[in-house]
Structure 1
Amino acid sequence: MKQKSSRRNFIRKAALSSAAITSAPFILSASKNENILMQRAYETNVFSPNDQINLALIGTGIQGIFDTQAALTVDGIQLVAACDLYTGRLERAKELWGEDTFTTRDYREILNRKDIDAVIIATPDHWHKKIVIDSLKAGKHVYCEKPMVQQWQEGQDIISAQKASGKICQIGSQGMSSLGNEKAKQLYKEGAIGDIVMLDFYNDRYSAEGAWQYPIPPDAGKKTVDFDTFLGSAPKVPYEDKRFFRWRNYKDYGTGVAGDLFVHAFSTLNHIIDSHGPNRAMATGGLRYWKDGRDVPDVSITLYDYPKTETHAAFNAAFRINFIAGSGGGSGFKLVGTEGEMEIGQNSVSLRRSKLGLVPGGYSMISFPEAMQKKIKNGYAQQNIETRTSALETGSTKWQAPKDYKGGHHDHFYNFFTAIRENGKVIQDPTFGLRAAGAALLANESYYKNKPINWNPTEMKIG
């Protein structure tokens, strides 16, 4: 595999010097800790009013606001319109972005405007497919929040619509374009961890807000909320505040922890190792604590199988979410290989390479007479299994983003808007988005059907 020669390349570079122009660290021993500053260079541009990209937000909720704030940190971008089905959020849009901001409850009014170049779609998941396709057909560039689709079967329609439109469509897993992902991808290609054998991902939370019990405004009701439009293609039910303001808790509108959190990990994983995704999933879990009417689990564990490809060995991935973690919370994303491990975040990458124990110690030798122990030790010594070179390649190194780093969210929008201006490519197009979303949604398929689910990562379909 390609990873074999890459690993030799990494070891060769690591043995040269710490000044070598490579990401490979020069690590003398396991006791040495090296910290390296990563860098990101941005082009400095001044755009005239005529060169501005006019942006509109469809779905002015929590993530929509965070997305827009990140988008506006990119030069040459201005927000001109916002849409939401709750009047209070339209008021909030004017507070944030000015009284001149056009607001509406009907996203089609935004798509009909000729002065809007691009839209952010941050609606509940069950609306993604329709609004993305409508936006592309209307000639708008699209930034769609993850997961791209609520059901994997919807993905091909978005892929076809994007190709037919010729417009840019970026899927919004906001850490994708980060310095951390970029460095981890480089390290992996250079063979820093050898062959991957496992991914360990977890996200622990310990708060009502973290478990999606979002606040409900006192004025919520049929006059301020367009509940019938919110339901869309979902089953018709009577008005209920919680279904609108806490929609993530219901599988009719959201995708549970898999679509909200797993999909980020799949985006990063598939990007770093150049993979199309897993081919099998088996999920378990349950609703353990937040029994507030929701019908999605608050504890979820899913195991995935990745097949061998040109870019990676066959390996397993463990995804774990706990919304009632008595430890207080925390998260992690770790790639474990045959020769090292990487812990990856948007702002940092920590690499640790350890010495593999190949010579038996006292534990397994204790059952032999002392004379036999000496013979066994001599036999291993003559084989020269443990070399000085292997010991010099161990240790830990951390790459850290600088203090003035603008962040992965900024970088993802920078990638999106640069692609619009230069008719270029985005890092997370609809095909990539479907592979990440499809893999995540396998957890739901397995959980609700109570059986393992097979997935074709190349054709992006179950079976």
Structure 2
Amino acid sequence: MNNKNSRRSFIKKATLTSAAVTSAPYIFASNFEERLLLTRDYIPQNYSANDRINLALIGTGIQGIYDTQSALRVDGVQLVAACDLYTGRLERAKELWGDSIFTSRDYRDILNRKDIDAVIIATPDHWHQKITIDALKAGKHVYCEKPMVQKAEEGEAIINAQKASGKICQIGSQGMSSLGNEKAKQLYEEGAIGDIVMLDMYNDRYSAEGAWQYPIPPDANPETVDFDTFLGKAPKVPFEPKRFFRWRNYQDYGTGVAGDLFVHAFSTLNYVISSQGPNRALATGGLRYWKDGRDVPDVSITLYDYPRTDTHAAFNAAFRINFIAGSGGGGGFKLIGTEGEMEVGQNSVSVKRSKLNMIPQGYSMVSFTEDMQKKIREGYAQENLEPRSSSLSTGTTTWEAERDYKGGHYDHFNNFFTAIRNNGSVIEDPTFGLRAAGAALLANESYYKKQPVNWDPVKMMLT
């Protein structure tokens, strides 16, 4: 990457944008701060009953409901069926979307219906691969929640099934299609932060709900919950409501913090910098507080190595999760480069550029005589290491979505349904989904093996 050219391109474009929006002569001046709008135009569409996409939900839990609510905001989509292994969730589906929808505890009943065009798969992670492949073979378009797979080696079969079916398959890291991601990618490619040297991602939580201690309904019993089917390929164990309603806490069904949270960050990171992913990971952590029977850590720190490619320099990524953060919680996602840093969210992007001090200050000069200090300063002055332009391009600019922005979750489903209607492509296909999931799941491989692990980001396999 040509740093000088990309930097000039970025500053020039930023200046033009600022002039158009605020009439300010420069977007970055010394200690400059500015806020600009991010906008997206949505064109309303009217579809007849025959032109609507008939959608079904498989897995009517927390994320499945949020997914469906976002999907139904897209014009020309209607829900016709829902599936879950707990009868109370089927009752909830009818409560939310009407008594006319078809419900079943067997997902195969959904796939056998000829009137269903697409399905949302929002089941526990250990069911993603099988149901996704079965749905594609049944001729359904698929929106599969992240992580695409529970184990990296499961991914190739989904990629092959999608290609063989000719159907659309979108993986559901819901922020992927957001205005924030789009702007971050544009800014990075224009050289806003120079060469990336580090990614800093953290997610702090301070609640039982945030630590996956989800409520268990008092009517949970072997009659209302099809526990044997839930277990699937996992080891057989006696009925235990906690395992069903709090499945993220168990390796047998979920993927821990890596599959729940890291995968979002990898989706955004790989998209913004056009990367195929890291090639090495080292994880540590432990179960520090939520000792409720879970066998996954509630504190996790993982370091990743990214190799140099045509789109980015070699850099390191630090991912940190704390489910018992006494600070009260919070999160962040920052790309840190040689010339600035960029904080990325679904609805906003902030770029901060600082002046790099190249001339020695008082600290390192103290051991020299006054005469020698003078000579040293004169020598640095002749090199012109800090031209005036290095001060003029500093400051912070934040791009924020308008208040009526429909959000990244809506945009991700809009991308999915548009691809179905136009026989187009999606932003997060199974190959992209495997690269994001595979990178995230390296944290589990390293943590449980207690050693670094290597990954081939091109072949998408452990090495």
TM-score for the superposition, normalised by structure 1: 0.98
Residues 104, 402 of structure 1: alpha-carbon distance in 2 compared, 3 angstrom cutoff:
same
Residues 28, 214 of structure 1: alpha-carbon distance in 2 compared, 3 angstrom cutoff:
closer
User: Residues 13 and 20 of structure 1 are in contact (CA less than 8 Å); yes or no, is this contact kept in structure 2?
Assistant: no
* 1:28 Cα deviation after fit: 4.4
Give deviations 1:233-291, integer Å, cap 9, x for gaps: 00000000100000000000000000000000000000000000000000000000000
* 1:32 Cα deviation after fit: 2.0
- Cross-structure match for 1:172: 172
Which residues in structure 2 correspond to 1:27-426 (within 5 Å)? 27-426=27-426
* 1:6 Cα deviation after fit: 2.4
Give deviations 1:350-375, integer Å, cap 9, x for gaps: 10000000000001011111111111
| Local SS of the residue matching 2:416 | helix
Distance in 1 of aligned mates of 2:19 and 2:56? 47
Give deviations 1:380-418, integer Å, cap 9, x for gaps: 111111111111111100000000000000000000000
Question: Letter of the aligned partner of 2:238 in structure 1?
Answer: P
| Local SS of the residue matching 1:311 | coil
* 1:10 Cα deviation after fit: 1.5
Distance in 1 of aligned mates of 2:359 and 2:15? 24
Question: 4+ runs of 1 displaced by more than 4 Å?
Answer: 14-17
- Cross-structure match for 2:443: 443
* 1:12 Cα deviation after fit: 3.8
Question: Letter of the aligned partner of 1:375 in structure 2?
Answer: K
* 1:296 Cα deviation after fit: 0.2
User: Residues 57 and 121 of structure 1 are in contact (CA less than 8 Å); yes or no, is this contact kept in structure 2?
Assistant: yes
Distance in 1 of aligned mates of 2:105 and 2:205? 33
User: Residues 197 and 336 of structure 1 are in contact (CA less than 8 Å); yes or no, is this contact kept in structure 2?
Assistant: yes
User: Residues 2 and 310 of structure 1 are in contact (CA less than 8 Å); yes or no, is this contact kept in structure 2?
Assistant: no
Distance in 2 of aligned mates of 1:17 and 1:50? 44
| Local SS of the residue matching 1:316 | strand
Question: Letter of the aligned partner of 1:409 in structure 2?
Answer: H
* 1:20 Cα deviation after fit: 6.1
Any stretches of 5+ residues in structure 1 without a counterpart?
A: none
- Output the aligned Cα RMSD: 1.3
Question: Letter of the aligned partner of 1:337 in structure 2?
Answer: G
| Local SS of the residue matching 1:18 | helix
* 1:4 Cα deviation after fit: 5.5
User: Residues 27 and 392 of structure 1 are in contact (CA less than 8 Å); yes or no, is this contact kept in structure 2?
Assistant: no
| Local SS of the residue matching 1:154 | helix
| Local SS of the residue matching 2:18 | coil
Any stretches of 5+ residues in structure 2 without a counterpart?
A: none
TM-score for the superposition, normalised by structure 2: 0.98
Residues 2, 421 of structure 1: alpha-carbon distance in 2 compared, 3 angstrom cutoff:
farther
| Local SS of the residue matching 2:94 | helix
Distance in 2 of aligned mates of 1:167 and 1:300? 37
* 1:44 Cα deviation after fit: 1.6
Moved more, 261-270 or 30-39: 30-39
| Local SS of the residue matching 1:128 | helix
Residues 131, 186 of structure 1: alpha-carbon distance in 2 compared, 3 angstrom cutoff:
same
User: Residues 14 and 393 of structure 1 are in contact (CA less than 8 Å); yes or no, is this contact kept in structure 2?
Assistant: no
User: Residues 177 and 408 of structure 1 are in contact (CA less than 8 Å); yes or no, is this contact kept in structure 2?
Assistant: yes
Distance in 2 of aligned mates of 1:235 and 1:18? 59
Residues 372, 15 of structure 1: alpha-carbon distance in 2 compared, 3 angstrom cutoff:
farther
User: Residues 168 and 419 of structure 2 are in contact (CA less than 8 Å); yes or no, is this contact kept in structure 1?
Assistant: yes
